Amino acid sequence: MREVQRPDLPPGRRFVQPRLDQTGTPLREVTFVVVDLETTGTRAADCAITEIGAVKVRGGQVLGELATLVDPGRPIPPAVQVLTGITTAMVVGAPRIEQVLPSFLEFVHGTVLVAHNAPFDVGFLKAALSRAGYAWPGNQVVDTVRLARRVVTRDEAPNHRLATLARLFRATTAPTHRALDDARATVDVLHALLERLAPLGVSHAEDLATAADPVPDQVRRRSHLADGLPDAPGVYLFRGPGDEVLYVGVATRSLRTRVRTYFTAAERRSRMTEMLSLATRVDPVVCATPLEARVRELRLIAEHAPRYNRRSRAPERMPWVRLTDEPYPRLSVVRDVTPGATHIGPLPSAGAARLAVEALQETFAVRRCTTRLPRRPAADAVPCVLVELDRCLAPCQHDDGRYATTVAALRSAMTGDPTAVVAAHARRLTALTAAERFEEAAGVRDRLDAYLRAASRSQRSDPLARIAELVAAQRCDDGAWELVLVRYGRLAATALVPRGHDPRPAVDALRATAEHVTAPVPPATAAHPEETDLLLAWLDRPGVRLVAVDGTWAWPVRSTAQITDPAAAVAAWQDRRPELDP
């Protein structure tokens, strides 16, 4: 793909001229082989082929024909003889199917197979190939019956039989139940159907695979938006008439292939149909690796907040559960991180944060009132009903040291061992299910799940958020090295080093050109929480090697324990990531 500046476009806007391999193969350049078979019956498992007819066409021109009778090795039933006019005497001396198949395979090599009621013809061909010891060549198959059902209405034709369509489209050859005549008639029917499909956006070979799918016309007409997209991983942005971003998505393999799926029957989401009706173009962002593509998707969603994206928007509003810093701490749901305080999260919603708070409050007798209590209890303080229910230690009335012990256990459950919370909820679940109080049990389960998700996210991401710079690498399937540089839990740079090249110079270049990242307030990371989750998942993959940490070169090492500085920040991650031999 190359960009050129056109004089009719505003400054800064460039016209993208795609390469041919980026737009697919236009139908006028596709070579079709239209095939028709005559057989001794309708079951491929126990019937045989008696005649093959095939016509090779490209761009409306006939390139060649293949026609032959085939000896089925058995008598032809009388009813079939009446229908086709092929008698047993006619096939005596004709070649057997094993002799015909090599020529047929050569004739159809590299083409798109077309047949009227293709499952019938393809089924017989696959059965014959299997019996003769040949593999199916894997040609793309187009069924003109399915295409006709898409564009020919009952008002035009009472059915979609070949003879009916041939009359409708005034085919030059009438079907006669003989293979070559029927194949010639199907050629004319195919061309007529493609003419009708062209205004619906079926213009390339790739479109034929889904041309018969029940896709709304207004959606299929916009399938040209996928033309010109590169065959590489990256992020795509659907833009509306005002150049606004409607939707952001990710393609881990091919941008063109992924965007094309929006114009097929596989896409059933009504909001996507609405989005496609508004979209005017698709902007690609090519990425070096799938990891980079997923990270860029999150960042672009956070930046543009597209109306048709439902997740990953406004990460700065994601709530945390905080243990307040006051004489008698309590739990609260907050939107920011306070230095020195204990937090877990962030969570996807305020509702999820409240569930996590309830899970901790049901385990520990921590106060739930929102007033700030003095260090010395007031003489006239009146306890609330939670004290009578043994759900609060009443620090507002007296301080016997038990509240401090409870807070210490609560802080440990937030930052380390979840055993106390899990055990308490397990006992509650057991009691409720035994009493068949399943709705209440579901609520207990949801609260425990919210707490575990919040605590695990904090405990996993906090060590990575404290590392100023971490470089890791993994071998790709083609032998190349995928390098990833992370700063404070944020992807700062990534690159691919070709197979056979020393990755060390690339690491030095990566460190010199990587994004500058400011240290965040722990336990928050410098990135979208989901971005840090992606990085942690990548680092946990088998075969990932630690290359450098905070400028300390670690390549190659047999164990990350050889890296001792900064020990406190790296140890939690190193213990889970044993190094491989280089």
Q: Are 117 and 147 in contact (CB under 8 A)?
A: no
Residue 464 CA to residue 461 CA, distance in Å, equals: 5
Residue ranges of E strands in 165-228: none
**Contact criterion met (CB below 8 Å) for 445 and 459:** no
Query: In angstroms, what CA-CA distances link 442 with 137, 349, 445?
Result: 53, 19, 5
Angstrom distance (rounded) from CA 357 to CA 330: 10
Angle subtended at Cα 26 by Cα 268 and Cα 241, rounded to the nearest 5 degrees? 50
Question: Does the annotation mark 177 as catalytic?
Answer: yes
**Distance of alpha carbon 300 from its chain centroid, rounded?**
17
| Cα distance between residue 443 and residue 461, in whole Å | 27
What burial letters (b/e) apply to 10-23, b meaning 16+ CB within 10 Å? Answer: eeeeeeeeeeeebb
Contacts of 206 (CB under 8 A, 6+ apart): 24, 25, 260
How many CB atoms sit inside 10 A of residue 79's CB? 9
Provide the residue type at 513 as one letter.
T
In degrees and rounded to multiples of 5, residue 13 shows phi and psi of -100, 130
Specify burial of residue 260 (Cβ count, 10 A radius: 0-12, 13-18, 19+).
Answer: buried
Q: Considering the candidates 116, 160, 177, 343, report the single residue annotated as catalytic.
A: 177
Measured CA to CA, the distance from residue 524 to residue 461 in angstroms comes to: 8
The angle subtended at Cα 399 by Cα 394 and Cα 401, nearest 5°, is 110
Q: Which residues are catalytic?
A: 177
